[in-house]
Amino acid sequence: MLDNRSLAHAMEPVFRTPGQSRGLPNLCYVDDAYHRLEAERLLARDWLCVGVGADIPSRGDAVAIDAAGQPILLVRDRDGGIRAFHNVCRHRGSLLLEDRHSGPVLVCPYHSWSYALDGRLVRTPEVGGPGVHTCPSVDKEALGLLPVRVGVWLDFVFVNLSGDAPPLDSVVAPMAERWSDYATDRLVHAASDTYELRANWKLAIENYLECYHLPWVHPGLNSYSPLDAHEYRVFADRFFGPITNVYRASVAPEKVLPCFPGLPEARRLVGEYPIAFPNLLLGIQRDHLFGIIIDPLAVDRTRERLHIYLIDDGAARSEAETARIEAAKADLVAGWREVFTEDIGIVERMQRGRASGAFDGGTLTAFHDGCTQRFMQHVARAVAPDAMPNARVGQA
């Protein structure tokens, strides 16, 4: 079933015109072999979001992460830059780091080979015998940690395992341009949260890309940001999703937060919620930005890492005003947590539905599912590329 031609045949219905199209077949959500193929052909070849700068705030901080099923290290080096390496010791292949670490060197727990923050192998104790710390066959120069291509946009850290994706700057350029009114250099990391879902990663994204479910899954949100105040937009090839024009249209004075300085009036009620394909979900509004990193852990298991950034507008404030803003921030963060938690059960129900042999990918509606369809088309083109030379990515 996993040869290119069969895959292309199974995925072809996502390329039909809206209204005629169907979603991806069940195997894309339940099949382990498909999941590995997707990691290899899509996630490892693209710019995958794997973390945020706030995960490693200080020089010497390092964190172990998983990218497309491979162990990777993110490191804040001596100059404050972010580097990525394969998280595997060049000696006998032990995982170098579990979880996180802070310090000037990374020491392998097995035989204590030690690596500097720029990846250089700096110590190989006893390698030539007791008391002998060098050996002719161990060329330290050649045995540094293997680097992974890394890039940062906003505070989000991306890696490209294959090394040959187009430059990250050029990929994000259309969105950076669209959001150039927002003084994103004022953003400050304010909160994070992690959710585990018993569902395939794509379902979490597909759910984010439509607002149709608002009245039924998010009745609270829908009461002040209703379904009919949303539209869908393709901002760029890889950036598409819903927008609203009533973002906090009437907000109680005690809940007002600092806004992006100099933001044009026309932007004040706008909220934009695009995916940065393949795995970062973004939300920008006049008073904050959030990102949800979607980590595919297994074919039926996903982790979502939510990061919320608020704005430091540099204004001097009284103690009472600062306390009010802190309370307003807590309220905002709690509001998003509620919304994203409400989605979990419904995404897991979609996963359970994929066990049905009678499900044929379902119906993609012309109005609401254009962004979902576009996402699926991107996936299909990456996973079964040769078999669909003429497949066109449709418009949402």
Residue 113, binding choice from ligand FES, Fe ion, none, Cβ under 5 to 8 Å by partner class: ligand FES
Q: Which is nearer to Fe ion, 46 or 343 (CB)?
A: 343
Note whether 210 binds Fe ion by CB under 5 A.
no
- Interface region with ligand FES, contact rule CB under 6 A, candidates 104-112, 149-157, 187-195, 291-299: 104-112
State which H helix or E strand residue 148 sits in: strand 147-153
Q: Which does 343 bind (CB under 5 to 8 A by kind): ligand FES, Fe ion, none?
A: Fe ion
Q: Which of residues 53-92 bind ligand FES (CB under 6 A)?
A: 89, 91-92
Contact status, residue 245 vs residue 257, Cβ threshold 8 Å: no
In the bound state with ligand FES, the residue whose beta carbon lies nearer, of 59 and 111, is 111
Among ligand FES, Fe ion, none, what binds residue 199 when CB lies within 5 to 8 Å by partner kind?
none
Q: Return the number of the residue (59 or 91) whose C-beta is nearest ligand FES.
A: 91
**How near is the Cβ of 265 to Fe ion at its closest, in Å?**
29
Residue span binding ligand FES (CB under 6 A) among the ranges 110-118, 183-191, 368-376, 379-387 = 110-118
Between 142 and 316, name the residue whose CB sits nearer to ligand FES.
142
Q: What is the DSSP secondary-structure string of 361-393?
A: S-B--TTT-HHHHHHHHHHHHHHS-TT-TTPPP
CA 14 to CA 376: how far, in whole Å? Answer: 7
The 3-class SS string of 268-294 reads CCCEECCEECCCEEEEEECCEEEEEEE
Shortest distance (Å) from residue 145 CB to ligand FES: 11
Which of the stretches 159-167, 188-196, 323-331, 335-343 binds Fe ion when contact is defined by CB under 5 A?
335-343
- CB of residue 257 to Fe ion, shortest distance in Å: 22
Interaction between residue 31 and Fe ion (CB under 5 A): no
Q: Verify binding: residue 111, ligand FES, rule CB under 6 A.
A: yes
Question: Taking the CB of residue 85, how many other CB atoms lie within 10 A of it?
Answer: 25
The continuous run of DSSP H or E covering 161 comes out as: none
Give Cα 261 distance to the centre of its chain. 27
User: According to the binding rule CB under 6 A, does residue 110 interact with ligand FES?
Assistant: yes
Q: Does residue 115 bind ligand FES (CB under 6 A)?
A: no
Cβ contacts of 251 within 8 Å, gap of 6 or more:
none
> Is the CB of 5 or the CB of 92 nearer to ligand FES?
92
What are the helix and strand counts (H, E) for the chain?
A: 9, 18
47 binds, among Fe ion, ligand FES, none (CB under 5 to 8 A by kind): none
Cα separation, 379 vs 269, in Å, equals: 32
Q: Which helix (H) or strand (E) holds 61?
A: strand 61-67
Among 38, 46, 55, 343, binds Fe ion (CB under 5 A): 343
List strand residue ranges (DSSP E) for the chain, in order.
48-52, 61-67, 70-76, 82-86, 100-102, 105-107, 114-116, 121-123, 147-153, 156-160, 187-197, 230-236, 239-244, 271-272, 275-276, 280-285, 288-298, 301-311
- Positions touching Fe ion (CB under 5 A) are 343
- Positions touching ligand FES (CB under 6 A) are 89, 91-92, 94, 108, 110-111, 113
